[in-house]
Amino acid sequence: MNASINVLLFGITRDITGQTAIQHPLAPHARVSDLLIQLHGQYPRLADIRALLVAVNGEYAEPDTKLKSTDEVALIPPVSGG
Partner 1 sequence: MISLTSNPIDIASAYKYLQADGAGAIDLFLGVVRDNTQARPVDRLEYEAYDRMALSEMKKIADEACRRWNILKFVVIHRTGLLRIGEMAVLIGVSTPHRADAFDATRYIIDTIKQTVPIWKKEVFTDGEIRVNATP
Q: How far is the CB of 59 from partner 1 (least distance, A)?
A: 7
In this complex, which beta carbon is closest to partner 1, that of residue 39 or of residue 77? 77
Binding site for partner 1 (CB under 8 A): 8, 10-12, 15, 48-50, 55, 58-60, 74, 76-82
CA distance linking residue 46 with residue 39, whole number of Å: 8
33: how many CB neighbours lie within 10 A of its CB? 14
Q: How far is the CB of 13 from partner 1 (least distance, A)?
A: 9
CA distance linking residue 68 with residue 28, whole number of Å: 8
